[in-house]
Structure 1
Amino acid sequence: MAPMGIRLSPLGVAVFCLLGVAVLYHLYSGVISNHLAAFRQRRNVDLRDLLALSVEAAILGGKEVKRVHEEKGLQEKSKGKTREGANDPLTMGDLESHRKMYNLIKNTFPEITVNSEEHDSVVDKSLSWSRVIPSEIAEKITGQNEVPAESVTVWIDPLDATQEYTESLLKYVTTMVCVAVDGKPVIGVIHKPFTDFTAWSLGQEANVHARSSYSTTPPKVIISRSHSGQVKSYVHEAFGNSTTIVQAGGAGYKVLSLLDLPAGESMDQADVYIHITFIKKWDICAGDALLRALGGHMMTLKGEEIDYRDAPLNKGGLVASVGVEHKDLLDKLPPWDLEKH
């Protein structure tokens, strides 16, 4: 007697085949999705490319800042009051610069985190990086400098010194881009749109230099134009009543005042930059990177390094210098409770 077999109707065969296909689909889709996830995690970006892009973004934003001011189209309004009670203005210069800078960087590297001082719903997919590496960058930065995309955080300040911008104190105005890797600032770009000067750094390379000498007995200290009374008292307590204090707008400008800039740049000069209230990281990250490249420091008043991974607010104040013994400066600073001020 022949062994009994299992016979499937045509419908059964069709169902069996469909089940097989479904099983294979889920198996392969899982494998493919895992491979795609692994690919995304392994995606690297080259820091030289990011530097060239950051310079291009800062210059592009600067052109908008200058254009809006020349066309007298500021359309100034207030974002409210700062924690210290000062007016926090917003202009079309801020917004137009943000739109150019933010969209250019996100269109080029959509997988990296980009934080900007301004927020806007305008998306411009037409902006694309030129892919040009400026000659001065190509000469100084050679070889590959790749880092994982997920380790990168970019901080944009589309218009630093907005208050001064509204007052036509244009020497203080800058646009800035900073690239942090695992929270450490490695690329800094500070662009002055009204003189078309750009300072940049990557790692230990930069197109600017520290001055040949600095004074610390006492230093010349640069501080914010806003709420200078408390800062003056703090500085005099730290370094003595004979200390010269320079008031200026813009964190980017204050960092540049510590450096040796070309003769055509009309700048105040200072030995130390001190800030004793809360400050946002897009204001200071680029300057931090520049100072590090030159062997300088930007730390909290307690001597802590600033982490640029996530939260935008630096609550520790700051003291910045280059070409001096930074620890000696920190040792002279009196205790200061930022939460109470």
Structure 2
Amino acid sequence: MLAAFEQAAIEAGKAIMAVYRSGCEVSQKLDLSPVTVADERAEVIILEHLSRHFPDIPVIAEESVEAGRIPEIGSAPFFLVDPLDGTREFIDHRDEFTVNIAYIVDGKPVAGIVYAPALGVAFTGENNAAEKLVVNADFTIGSRAPIKVRACGDTKLALASRCHGNARTDAFLAANAITACTTIGSSLKFCLLAEGKADVYPRFSRTMEWDTAAGDAVLRAAGGITVTLDGLPLSYGKRQQSDDSDFANPDFICWGKQTLAGG
């Protein structure tokens, strides 16, 4: 499955980079978040790949959901796709945007890829094995290396959203005696945890499942965990939520080498 994910993500990334270099107009979706032709082209490419390789598995993809195209998933496995995570970074010409594809089984992200085309790196996770890939300028894979989360030491490094930090994040850092914090955009925060470059990523602002699933799959495969504030693993395929829309996530905390309770 990961081989198909890699093909889809890299082809989508190539299309994104063509737009990134030439520039494009920016539109607003109904939720006032930005969208570009790069998002739309990348999603078409990914959907074509998934349909060809896995015709019977439904796909929940960000731009399709925005357009009202939402397949019925029931309790069956499905894919979650964010064709361009970090659109604000993309618009501002910061290189931290990613292509995200994940496979969900029984509410868990069991396989995923996060590809950062402007940085030339990708991260994959499946079956308790995670890798970092170097992607060459010609969009071929140059090398692969296994990655794992690191054990927390006396000094913890936190990651925070570049665009969505808030007072609750600051309070969490203070309560956990975390004095070092780096801000970064997109799902790369999950991947930095997965490769052992940080220890925790608290998120106290709204995300959708397609924002997090691929990075979460990589993190879990590398030995980490993403939990809600009640200490339970973040689940996927959330529908008919009384307090939010379909596929919206609650607040969560990602840990590297930690217990489910985060301690």
Same fold (TM over 0.5): yes
Per the TM alignment, residue 213 of structure 1 is displaced from its structure 2 partner at its CA by: 4.2
What does 1:205-244 align with in structure 2 at a 5 Å threshold? 205-207=129-131, 208-215=146-153, 217-240=154-177, 243-244=179-180
**2:29 match: secondary structure:** strand
The superposition leaves residues 252-295 of structure 1 with CA deviations (integer Å, 9 ceiling, x where unpaired) of: 1111121338xxxxxxx421011012211111111221122122
Among 190, 212, 216, which residue is 1:284 paired with? Answer: 212
Aligned pair count reads 236
- The match for 2:184 is 248
Larger radius of gyration: 1
Indicate conservation of the 8 Å contact 2:225/2:260, yes or no.
yes
Per the TM alignment, residue 306 of structure 1 is displaced from its structure 2 partner at its CA by: 2.3
What is the distance in 1 between the residues matched to 2:169 and 2:253?
14
What is the distance in 2 between the residues matched to 1:212 and 1:175?
25
What is the distance in 2 between the residues matched to 1:285 and 1:277?
16
- The match for 2:9 is 58
Amino acid aligned to 1:190: V
Matched, 1:321 2:246: no
What is the distance in 2 between the residues matched to 1:291 and 1:299?
12
Matched, 1:166 2:91: yes
Per the TM alignment, residue 326 of structure 1 is displaced from its structure 2 partner at its CA by: 4.5
Per the TM alignment, residue 106 of structure 1 is displaced from its structure 2 partner at its CA by: 1.7
Matched, 1:109 2:54: yes
Indicate conservation of the 8 Å contact 1:66/1:193, yes or no.
yes
Per the TM alignment, residue 316 of structure 1 is displaced from its structure 2 partner at its CA by: 2.1
The TM-score normalised by the length of structure 2 is: 0.81
Per the TM alignment, residue 80 of structure 1 is displaced from its structure 2 partner at its CA by: 4.2
Indicate conservation of the 8 Å contact 1:80/1:89, yes or no.
no
Indicate conservation of the 8 Å contact 1:300/1:319, yes or no.
yes
**2:59 match: secondary structure:** strand
Indicate conservation of the 8 Å contact 1:278/1:313, yes or no.
no
The TM-score normalised by the length of structure 1 is: 0.64
What is the distance in 2 between the residues matched to 1:294 and 1:94?
28
Matched, 1:307 2:235: yes
What is the distance in 2 between the residues matched to 1:275 and 1:212?
20
Per the TM alignment, residue 117 of structure 1 is displaced from its structure 2 partner at its CA by: 0.9
- Percent of residue pairs identical: 26
Bigger CA drift: 52-61 or 317-326? 317-326
Gaps of 5+ in 1: 1-49, 82-86, 122-149, 262-268, 330-341
Bigger CA drift: 206-215 or 185-194? 206-215
Per the TM alignment, residue 54 of structure 1 is displaced from its structure 2 partner at its CA by: 1.3
What is the distance in 2 between the residues matched to 1:273 and 1:328?
11
The superposition leaves residues 212-232 of structure 1 with CA deviations (integer Å, 9 ceiling, x where unpaired) of: 5433x4522111122423244
Gaps of 5+ in 2: 68-74, 132-145, 240-245
Matched, 1:257 2:192: yes
Query: Which of the pair is proportionally richer in strand?
Result: 2
Query: Which of the pair is proportionally richer in helix?
Result: 1
Amino acid aligned to 2:47: Y
- The match for 1:198 is 122
What is the distance in 2 between the residues matched to 1:318 and 1:236?
14
Across the aligned residues of Structure 1 and Structure 2, the Cα RMSD in angstroms comes to 2.3
Matched, 1:91 2:60: no
What is the distance in 2 between the residues matched to 1:80 and 1:245?
32
